[in-house]
A and B are shown apart, each in its own frame.
Chain A
């Protein structure tokens, strides 16, 4: 048996240079696949074991939000805008993509803090912890898609064949979620304010992004939307499913590249500084 030699010294990764960092990260992720899966499984089952409706909880938030918007629209308080598909399909689909980001980010940014007692006692891959915590939002996403399927049948319409591209189209938003999750979980480990502000920030961002309403054509919100990468990451996959065409592929491409960059940078930062967390958490 060949013995692995491990060394611990201050600023260890810096001495090795940036190039070897990527292979180090890759090897660690590969080696810990099973651990990541087990952690995900634990979170998943633990969440729903002592619950009557179990995974169907994933439907509650989108249904309540969409219901509220329909009610507001009907009573003329709020105009949803011009949408040429049944609104519930549009909104639930939007919420599904949006929640992939929002619940994933909230969960991952809390992942290190929640496992604090474990982190200070056992040495294991903290990246697995962060990645596993976003698994829950993926399960919710899948369940919400079942609801979308039911709605399609109910309204007698069919999605575009491009729905098959969904697994690829969600990659950018997931990379963005993970990347931000890495860095925020780290900061949350040191400064707890992050975990408190994030859910509030998510609600604010959701209303700022055309998830539950149509893309505004004028006003300050229209300008904001143009520069909002989340808008492209949510609405382009949705448009593709509903209409089968992409009108804003440039924005989507830019947002995707941005997501990849965010992911890479945050992963490297996390790798370089994760050893700092155990002593501060």
Chain B
């Protein structure tokens, strides 16, 4: 193993069993075989087993920060637990240089009946710190947690925030060579989160190798230098974080979504036909243009036109407004005409979304038109967040 490599993972796989009863049986068998000095043949799948992590290889250099991303159940946490030595691989080999600290769960081993002070010592011991280390860092830990006098109160009287803060405070004072972080950064209020980020930044500056598992692409993009994308236990390695994040967001493209949902295209008095959409893939700054020809037997004065854009994988509205928001009176006159709607300069960043257009008669008594159009908003490299705004950089003399 090279000198500058901190973690080396070679063709590592881990299997799980889907059935509890079988799992018991296999467990006893494995224990028996290991006891007798026989190999447990862990590289073979038995009935009811599947690979949760499948043939994953990568290297992390000293001081590097690696992100692990992927959908739920893709094997991220299992991989992290193997790096921590909680689970052992069934195939392959993991080599780790230095002391490993894990932020997989904060406050593990805390006993509600004991005081904060007692729990700090217990938790620190579980995390592998020595008595001297804890004595030395105790004041820092209490200060970091910001719980003041409560340190001598039983933990069961803590608020959930205090509990988590104290747990986190102990964990980040371990000063490991390798830090494993699993989705626990989303704890505490914003002030405390800043503290956590700063602390992790500090550790990184001191050369701590860091691995972060997160669903939060924002955290991934600001902290991480390289990315592993896991899906169904298989890994893809990306030297560019942006590429990795793209791979992840691509996952949520539902192929069926590409079809437009035409919920309503007219009634017996009005008919919309020859609807044209300029494009379905947008980069920040592009405009959306829909033109629709219609033929109406009556006048639909004071029509309402709703426009909404929302994410197709989370309940988030990027935009919603009616023509009234723009003080625009719309009258759909009798006869053959063309209605054009233009959404200018769209600045949505990195999302699969739907644009919905609904047209109502006056006072919303009649639905005349309603389409949902799936679109893709491309992401900009080095940018996360839901919007990509026009930012001007100026340096004055």
Binding site for B on A (CB under 8 A): 3-14, 18, 34-35, 38-39, 41-42, 45-46, 49-50, 115, 117-124, 186-187, 190-191, 269, 272-273, 275-276, 278-280
* A10 pairs with B91, CB closer than 8 A: yes
Residues of B within 8 A of A50 (CB): 113
Residues of B within 8 A of A39 (CB): 122, 125-126
Contact digits for B83-126, partner A, Cβ 8 Å, 1 yes 0 no? 01111111111111111101011001101011000100110011
Q: How many residues of B contact A (CB 8 A)?
A: 53
Closest to A14 in B: B37
Check if B34 is an interface residue, CB within 8 A of chain A.
Answer: yes
Contact digits for B133-161, partner A, Cβ 8 Å, 1 yes 0 no? 00000000000000000000010000000
Residues of A within 8 A of B118 (CB): 41-42, 45
By Cβ-Cβ distance, the 3 closest A-B pairs, closest first, are A190-B27, A38-B125, A280-B27
* A7 pairs with B93, CB closer than 8 A: yes
CA A57 to CA B259, docked complex, whole Å: 71
Residues of A within 8 A of B30 (CB): 273, 276
Contact digits for B1-33, partner A, Cβ 8 Å, 1 yes 0 no? 100000000000000100000011001101100
Main secondary structure of the interface of A (DSSP, over half): helix
Check if B43 is an interface residue, CB within 8 A of chain A.
Answer: yes
* B86 pairs with A122, CB closer than 8 A: yes
Q: List 12 A-B contacts (CB under 8 A).
A: A7-B96, A10-B91, A35-B125, A35-B128, A38-B122, A41-B122, A45-B113, A117-B105, A121-B81, A121-B102, A273-B34, A275-B88
CA A238 to CA B320, docked complex, whole Å: 85
Closest to A48 in B: B113
Check if B60 is an interface residue, CB within 8 A of chain A.
Answer: no
Additional pairs, 20, CB under 8 Å, beyond known A8-B94, A121-B86: A7-B93, A9-B88, A10-B40, A10-B42, A11-B39, A14-B34, A14-B39, A34-B125, A35-B125, A45-B113, A115-B109, A118-B126, A120-B81, A121-B81, A121-B102, A121-B104, A269-B35, A273-B30, A280-B23, A280-B27
* A-B pairs with beta carbons under 8 A, tally: 144
CA A4 to CA B27, docked complex, whole Å: 30
Check if B130 is an interface residue, CB within 8 A of chain A.
Answer: yes
Residues of A within 8 A of B104 (CB): 121-122
Check if B304 is an interface residue, CB within 8 A of chain A.
Answer: no
Closest to B88 in A: A275
CA A191 to CA B25, docked complex, whole Å: 9
CA A44 to CA B93, docked complex, whole Å: 40
Residues of B within 8 A of A269 (CB): 31, 35
CA A279 to CA B96, docked complex, whole Å: 21
Give the distance to chain B from A2, nearest Cβ to Cβ, in Å.
Answer: 10
Check if B82 is an interface residue, CB within 8 A of chain A.
Answer: yes
CA A38 to CA B24, docked complex, whole Å: 31
* A49 pairs with B93, CB closer than 8 A: no
Residues of B within 8 A of A272 (CB): 34-35
* B108 pairs with A276, CB closer than 8 A: no
Check if B336 is an interface residue, CB within 8 A of chain A.
Answer: no
Pick from B43, B87, B98: contact of A278, CB below 8 A.
B87
Residues of A within 8 A of B40 (CB): 10-11
> B residues 205-228 with Cβ under 8 Å of A?
none
* B130 pairs with A34, CB closer than 8 A: yes
CA A47 to CA B109, docked complex, whole Å: 15
* B31 pairs with A273, CB closer than 8 A: yes
CA A186 to CA B131, docked complex, whole Å: 28
Question: Given contacts A49-B114, A122-B105, A272-B35, are A191 and B24 in contact (CB under 8 A)?
Answer: yes
* A121 pairs with B108, CB closer than 8 A: yes
Pick from A9, A34, A45: contact of B89, CB below 8 A.
A9
CA A49 to CA B156, docked complex, whole Å: 12
CA A278 to CA B128, docked complex, whole Å: 18
Check if B54 is an interface residue, CB within 8 A of chain A.
Answer: no
* A5 pairs with B108, CB closer than 8 A: no
Give the distance to chain A from B388, nearest Cβ to Cβ, in Å.
Answer: 38
Residues of B within 8 A of A279 (CB): 16, 87
Pick from B24, B84, B94, B177: contact of A9, CB below 8 A.
B94
Closest to A117 in B: B108
Residues of B within 8 A of A119 (CB): 86
Give the distance to chain B from A142, nearest Cβ to Cβ, in Å.
Answer: 22
CA A273 to CA B27, docked complex, whole Å: 10
CA A13 to CA B96, docked complex, whole Å: 17
CA A279 to CA B97, docked complex, whole Å: 24
Most B Cβ at <10 Å: residue of A9, A14, A41, A275: A9
Give the distance to chain B from A121, nearest Cβ to Cβ, in Å.
Answer: 4
Residues of B within 8 A of A8 (CB): 82, 85, 88-89, 93-94, 96
* A276 pairs with B91, CB closer than 8 A: no
Closest to B13 in A: A10
CA A273 to CA B39, docked complex, whole Å: 12
* A12 pairs with B88, CB closer than 8 A: yes
Pick from A3, A14, A123, A273: contact of B102, CB below 8 A.
A123
Closest to A277 in B: B27
* A35 pairs with B126, CB closer than 8 A: yes
CA A45 to CA B128, docked complex, whole Å: 21
Contact digits for B335-372, partner A, Cβ 8 Å, 1 yes 0 no? 00000000000000000000000000000000000000
Check if B127 is an interface residue, CB within 8 A of chain A.
Answer: yes
Residues of A within 8 A of B42 (CB): 10-11
Residues of B within 8 A of A120 (CB): 81, 86
* A42 pairs with B31, CB closer than 8 A: no
CA A6 to CA B100, docked complex, whole Å: 10
Give the distance to chain A from B166, nearest Cβ to Cβ, in Å.
Answer: 15
Give the distance to chain B from A28, nearest Cβ to Cβ, in Å.
Answer: 12
